[in-house]
Amino acid sequence: MPSLVLMERAAIATVEAMMKDFEFKSALILCGTGNNGGDGIAVGRLLHQAGKAVTICVVGDPERASEETAAQLKIARNLNVPCVYSLENSWPNDPDTLIVDALFGIGLDREVEDPYLEVIRRVNDGTFRTVAIDIPSGLSADNGYVFGAAVIADKTYSIGFFKKGFSSQESPAFTGEIQLLNIGYPPLTELAHIIDQEESNGEQI
């Protein structure tokens, strides 16, 4: 199954869950350049089309984005979804804004550095409601290790399967409530290939 199809399914399921769980008129979507960022961009586009005031902030070099994330960014731009590359003038003023964390996914295997580290700290220092797509950025999907810093989410929408790292003693402080979203993942052999792709080049810094 094409990864873009899975990305779209993940975004649709996430938006449906978010709309049920939270009341909000605006959202700030924080996206990395790997495939988790692509999920976030797709979520932002769908929220924009649903009438929400959305800002997508791409953190990192968009020229280094994965193929799928670059495609999602192009679609969002073509639909005039507000996309920025710095939080300097984009941090929300409305206290009811929902922050969506899509900086890093399951492929992260190194310490978080700036500019991502600065963004994570800013999220955690604020009082905005925060949700994570698949896993809070900075948290290891394998063992729950915190790579220097991790987003503290009120809720995590885990895509497809429960991450092993969620079972660690430390992870609940970062994940908040976890909701598993079934997006019709392919058979295990194909799923393993997708995961290998994310781990090799999907979470770029």
Residues annotated within a binding site:
35-39, 101, 105-111, 116, 134, 137
For 68, the 3-state DSSP assignment is helix
Known binding-site positions for (6S)-NADPHX: 35-39, 105-111, 116, 134
Residue showing tokens 């009120």: 154
For 110, the 3-state DSSP assignment is coil
Q: How far is CA 103 from CA 9, 48, 82, 143, in A?
A: 19, 19, 17, 19
User: Which residues 6+ apart lie within 8 Å of 76 measured at CB?
Assistant: 41, 44, 45, 48, 56, 83
Q: How many other C-beta atoms lie within 10 A of the C-beta of residue 163?
A: 25
118 is written with which tokens?
Answer: 């600065």
Strand boundaries in 120-201, DSSP class E: 129-133, 155-159, 177-181
For 14, the 3-state DSSP assignment is helix
* Residue 57 bridge partners (DSSP): 30, 84
